[in-house]
Amino acid sequence: MTSPLESATCSPLLCPSGTLRASINLGNPILANKNAATGEVFGVSVDLSRELAKRLGVALELKVFDAAAKSVAAVTNNEADIGFFAIDPLRGEGIRFTAAYIHIEGYYLVRQHSPLQLNEDVDKTGIRITAAKGSAYDLFLTRHLKHATLVHATTSQAVTDTFLQNSSDVAAGVRQQLESDIERLLGQEKLRLLNTNFMVIAQAMGIPNHRGEAATNYVRHFVEEMKRSGFVAESLKRHGIVGAAVAPSSSASFAPLA
């Protein structure tokens, strides 16, 4: 468990302004959501931010964004002290990551009448895939697709609508968001997911790359404790999140980033 002395030591390293600025991404409904009536932002990433600020003995400021790329940029550009992102090599150029605290699934969505049945059918010449620009699955597909073409939506919430408007062949996204879109559009469009996930997205906490090893290791220890103690599992349950799994403990989280 992190000691009070460690908290006092790491507080100025993690949040030199005296306030912990947390970058919150509303583009992933598993991590965070906003109450339409009150404007309150809630979710596992918000809960972790509040708990970390409490342990550091500082105030918390939530910086809320509608897309992962904007949330990543806030941390990379030192406009936020922590963020909650999928681990990705490109993002790692400006961010130091903890080990994952949850795993979520990336899926393909197609029209009901589409001839595509398996993930292996998707990466073919002439297939157009809509993904949210800068999202974890966009970065993954950019590296791995050999024949299909990516079309970009502005946010994860806009992926399915963009896919329909642009007459793309496939939409790529977080399973829960796509399932919500299928339900939302029931009666207008018949849509379905393909057979299984095309990737497992490892969601982690991250801090600006220049904050150093002491701050990085403090956050890594914090994440491991939040998993072991049941904090992450309880947060997911409290917010009614299904389909996300708490990531296993990782001793690798204590090693310096290469």
Q: Is the pLDDT of residue 258 over 50?
A: no
* pLDDT (tens digit per residue) in 53-64: 999 999 999 999
- pLDDT confidence of residue 253: 41
How is the chain split into domains, by residue range? 4-103+200-252, 105-199
**Which candidate, 137, 130, 155, places its Cα nearest to that of 90?**
137
Q: Is the pLDDT of residue 4 over 50?
A: no
- pLDDT confidence of residue 6: 64
Q: How many whole angstroms separate alpha carbon 258 and alpha carbon 254?
A: 12
Local structure of 9: helix, strand or coil: helix
What does the block give as tokens for 159? 């992926």
Asked if the domains at 4-103+200-252 and 105-199 fall in one CATH topology, the answer is yes
- pLDDT confidence of residue 9: 63
* pLDDT (tens digit per residue) in 223-236: 999 999 999 999 99
pTM of the model: 0.76
* Nearby residues of 63 by Cβ (< 8 Å), 6 or more positions away: 21, 22, 23, 24, 74, 79, 80
Task: Tell me the pLDDT of the chain averaged across its residues.
Answer: 90
* pLDDT (tens digit per residue) in 171-193: 999 888 899 999 999 989 999 99
171: exposed, middle or buried (Cβ count in 10 Å: 0-12, 13-18, 19+): buried
Amino acid, res. 257 = L
**3-class DSSP string for 179-231:** HHHHHHCCCCCCEEECCCCCEEEEEEEEEEHHHCHHHHHHHHHHHHHHHHCCH
Residue 69 vs residue 82, higher pLDDT: 82
Q: Is the pLDDT of residue 212 over 90?
A: no
- pLDDT confidence of residue 8: 61
Confidence class for position 255, pLDDT limits 50, 70, 90 = very low
Superfamily of domain 105-199: Periplasmic binding protein-like II (3.40.190.10)
* Nearby residues of 252 by Cβ (< 8 Å), 6 or more positions away: 99
Q: Provide CATH code, domain 4-103+200-252.
A: 3.40.190.10
